Structure 1
Amino acid sequence: MKVIISDPISEDGLRIFKDNNIEIVNTNGKNIDESLSDIKTADGWIIRSGTTLDSKIIDKADNLTVIGRAGVGIDNIDISAATRRGIVVMNTPDANTISAAEHTMALILALSRNVSTGHNGLSKGEWNRHSLIGSELHGKIIGVVGLGKIGREVIKRCRAFNMQVLGYDPFIPEDIFREDELKICNLEYLIKKSDYITLHIPLTNDTNNLFDYENLIKMKKEARIINVARGGIINEADLSKVLKEKKITGAALDVFESEPLDSDSPLLSSPNIILTPHLGASTKEAKKGVSISICNQVKNFLINEELDNAINMPFKNFAHLKEMAPFLQLSELLGDIHSQVSDGPIKKIDINCYGSIKDTKPIGLSFLRSLLQNRVPERVNYINADALSKELGMEVSINFSTSDSNYSNLISATVLSDKKVQLDGSVFDDNLPRLVNIFGYKMEVNLSGTLLFVQNDDVPGVIGKVGTLLGDNKINIAAYLLSREKNRNLAFAVIRLDDTVEPNIIDMLNSIKELKFVRQINLKH
């Protein structure tokens, strides 16, 4: 067996392969084209962030069965291409939790005691002891945005400093935490009341620029904000502005909208700010840990077909994976759509499979993985999706039904959050998934691209108003599907668009009085 190592891996990790007689091909620093012969014959491939595995490269790896990512992020791997080829993709989601939490605390302490400013002053021959008056953490209020694994580790450390903790996470029920641990609150309350705000959430459409000028100026003048999560959650231009206007006391960032940080970034000229070059996971322990973890995982898979932290594999049988691929894609798409129409904490999920879909477990895991992807800061995979749903207090039911259906196969997924939503889908003879029931409306919809779900009064002129508004804003309609079966007074439409619609256009559509509901659905498949 042969494993390619194309990014730096510790000697402790490499020794795992040597001890198990697995050949190591080190291509670190080489061009992909220089290693084609090894790529064609390799059984495994281990990378970090420095290697990108797109579909063209993956398709050249004829014998590849597993890709190991030493770290959390998998944006540099074409997961769909790997799945189509039956290649398992693994990562190490927990290896940097402690390092990221400790780096958060280091930045909080450095901000509080003017460590960076004091050092810079001494380097210039200054002794500014009396002007650099810091703040104790004892008794201060820290707002933790995102209550996943890293957020919880930060909370442990803050409580050791006798800080009061506010927590915000719209996808986690309040009863998960004890009352003496923290107070769950809404985001606006947290922003206004906290002396420190630390971010531990994923970067999604909802969290991009979450802390813009409008939210930043709601903070206390004495408050400080820290981001060791993802660049883009804080609007960097707005943060620079509020710091220069002295509307908040300080900030510390380890992640940025663009990395490496641009030399003309406004952050570099901002006062009272600490910047570090994405060091959250940069510790000897974390780097050694991810190396050992990923090498063990890949070795165990190659020798014993054991799966650990597999991103795209709910079971071990490759042949079964290929047989079920269309149904797994359908369940993933249903989960993706539900994630975009379900607001607030999800209380209950019911998945019912009909017809030829009898293996329900992978169907359910595929649905949960997609549903939870933007609801938790951790990377969700088939291994941890069920556990994470339980942590979020969700009641999940996955069943096979022998009841008759109009389709040879059918997945019906009902999600209860602030409202109850049912979506049904089926895989047709062309192996392509389609929606066949949306909110009780019968229609057949191909699942790809950008869709608008629209419910409206069933009166003349609505289609014309919607089409005119979109046309005036240079948005092309590829298809307009209409259903009137559920309610004689209401109609439901699925509008397929060539491009994503900006939020202000959605607001304009919502202002049309006949429209009762407008939701944009973006599907990556």
Structure 2
Amino acid sequence: MAFKVLITDPISDTGIKILEERGLEVVYQPNYPEVDLSNGVLESIDGWIIRSGTQIEDFHFETAKNLKVVGRAGVGVDNIDIKNATRTGCLVMNVPDGNSISAAEHTVAMMSALSRNIHKGHMTLLGGAWERSGLIGNELQNKTLGVIGLGRIGREVIKRAQSYDMKILGFDPYVNESLFEGSEVELATIEDLYAKSDYITLHVPLVDSTKYMISMKTLKKMKSTARIINVARGGIINENDLAEALNSNIIAGAAIDVFESEPLSKDSALLSSKNILLTPHLGASTYEAKEGVSLKICQQVSDYLLDDKLLNPINLPFASFEDIKTLTPFLNLSEVMGLIQSQIIEEPIKSISIQCFGEVEEGKILSIGVLKGLLGSITDNRINYINAHSVANERGIAVSYSHSSESIAYTNSVKSIVQLQNKEITIEGSVFSDNIFRITNILGFDIDFIPSGHILCIYNKDVPGVVGSVGGVLGRNKINIAEFILSRSSNNNTACSIVKIDDFVDKNVIGHIESIPEVTKVFLLKI
């Protein structure tokens, strides 16, 4: 059956063609929020492609049980409930560089138009007036531009502003300062940027720390001649505070392309503000940007669905699948280890600890494998690399990982410790030549076996006759033994047997084995 992809914002025909040529079924309904999503379409989709017009909320993820990926044709993802996407195991990806040039050019265009009153001149001419003296503007040359957010778009704006001979102040708490060594960009504190800038442009995402970062409090820190430009995200500026600041001459002007609620309400205070230039979210609205992000997101979504290829993930614990290719054998091992532990635990899980030894150091990634194997069979959730840690957190399971240089029997190995209410379940494994992985210790018993198929894990007193008794039960029930591996403990006269069998055994057979006096516990493992 072909993967089905829903598209609820306009994208280019070329992008749609990519999906269709790769055999994906496309449901194109580019008029969100008027799209009717009550007809069962969400329940059947594997992918969902959007731009800024679609809001994907928690109930969408709850309904779209098969949804594997949301592709944002553009940069901003604040219109996607990332937390619930992660919780339900849905990957979110974007196209971070697709709109950069368009957004940067629109920023500079807005700044230029605001400085020279171009919008006002146009409107007065339409009204029949020839008003020159009242529309005197300002040059940009030698003015100070404060750039908040020094990512792709911020840096593109800086390039263009430097051609105007503007002085650049930059602020970004997450930027590597070495990027700007030897440049004409002066990195400043946010307070200095507010105080010294003639123009301030915003290029940050909408997150908790940037919500209303421009408020009356910050506006009062700016020059009375300052102008502010926002082509980033709505909600970064408190719009009512901005309107009041403009009407009270606290700052000199504003050019705004994005709004907290879109379309902009007819009773928005911004519409009656002085010295303001408004555009209806045109930052990415160029033919080139639309074509570029459409092609890229359709390629990315189809690559992920068809080939597990990954580019620009938002909510994956590692940057790309390339990061884990060399770890694949150990990741497979860790998942099987978690699966085995899930079939042994009989109490609530308190915590999980992953210990890596030797050259294997990526405990965080391997912990995802253990969680995927462990939680996949004991919860109703779809567990994958995206939501494994999120589901563990929801269930109150603490997860830790570490690396040890301790000398052990197997050079490169992984140990998983599941702490239960009253005991712990430990398992160790290693990867050998040809990427074959083996379990090397289970519940403290040194052992060596390839985990596959149907396995009986039997704990018993270390006395003669147990192997024969177990074999007798299996023989009488016509269960063929493929391999019988025994490990003994010298400390407490106990033993552990791994019995690989050709067929599944039911509870009656398990009961017969457990009735052997020397047997203390039997677990049936299915790998």
Same topology, TM > 0.5: yes
2:17 corresponds in structure 1 to: 15
Report 1:118-267 matches (<5 A): 118-267=121-270
Deviation at residue 103 of structure 1 after TM alignment: 0.9
Q: 1:84 Cα deviation (Å)? A: 4.9
Distance 1:65 1:230 in 2: 26
Q: Distance in 2 between matches of 1:26 and 1:269?
A: 38
The answer as to whether partners of 2:44 and 2:64 remain within 8 angstroms in 1 is yes
CA contact 2:356–2:362 (8 Å) conserved in 1: no
1:31 aligns with 2:43: no
Where 2:125 maps in the other structure, the secondary structure is helix
Aligned twin of 1:2: 3
Unaligned runs of 5+ in 2: 339-352, 369-384, 387-400, 408-413, 422-527
Change (3 A) 1:22 1:271: same
**Bigger mean CA deviation after superposition, 301-310 or 272-281:** 301-310
What's the TM-score, normalizing by structure 2? 0.59
What letter corresponds to residue 182 of structure 1 in structure 2?
V
Tell me, yes or no, if the aligned pair for 1:167 and 1:183 is still in contact at 8 Å. yes
TM-score between both structures, scaled by the size of structure 1: 0.60
Matching residue of 2:297: 294
- Provide the C-alpha distance between the structure 2 equivalents of 1:206 and 1:54, rounded to a whole number of angstroms: 21
Are the counterparts in 1 of residues 5 and 24 from structure 2 also a CA contact under 8 Å?
Answer: no
In the alignment, what sits opposite 1:108? 111
Cα displacement (A) at 1:63: 4.6
- Asked if structure 2 preserves the Cα contact closer than 8 Å seen for 1:86 and 1:322, the reply is no
| Structure 2 residue aligned with 1:90 | 93
Contact 2:4/2:44 (<8 A) preserved: no
Q: Which amino acid aligns with 1:253?
A: I
Counterpart code for 1:102 = E
Measure how far apart 1:296 and its partner are: 0.7
Q: Which has the larger radius of gyration?
A: 2
Percent of aligned pairs with the same residue? 49
- The residue type equivalent to 1:45 in the other structure is W
**What code does the residue aligned with 1:150 have?**
I
Instruction: State the aligned residue count.
Output: 355
Task: Note if contact 1:4-1:27 (Cα within 8 Å) is conserved in structure 2.
Answer: no
Displacement of 1:105 after TM fit?
0.3
- Check whether the contact 2:51–2:74 (CA below 8 A) recurs between aligned residues: yes
Q: What is the alpha-carbon distance in structure 1 between the residues aligned to residue 204 and residue 96 of structure 2?
A: 14
Deviation at 1:202, TM superposition (A): 2.5
Cα distance, 1:187 vs structure 2: 1.9
Is 1:269 matched with 2:259?
no
Amino acid aligned to 2:184: E
**What is the deviation of 1:310?**
2.0
Query: SS of 2:223's equivalent?
Result: coil
**Equivalent in the alignment of 1:355:** 355
Residue aligned with 2:298, SS: helix
State how far apart, in whole Å, the 2-side matches of 1:160 and 1:427 are.
60
CA distance in 1, matches of 2:56, 2:177: 40
CA contact (8 A) 1:13 1:291 kept: yes
Corresponding residue for 2:313? Answer: 310
Structure 1 contact 226–251 (Cα < 8 Å) conserved: yes
In the alignment, the residues of structure 2 paired with residue 80 and residue 257 of structure 1 have an alpha-carbon distance, to the nearest angstrom, of 20
Maintained 8 Å contact 1:252/1:274:
yes
Query: Can you list the C-alpha shifts for 1:396-426, whole angstroms capped at 9, x where unaligned?
Result: xx9622569xxx989xxxxxxxxxxxxxxx9
- Deviations 1:293-341 (Å, cap 9, x if unpaired)? 11111222233221111223336599969959x9xxxxxxxxxxxxxxx
Q: Secondary structure at the match of 1:32?
A: coil
Call closer, same or farther: CA 1:55–1:359 in 2, change over 3 Å. farther
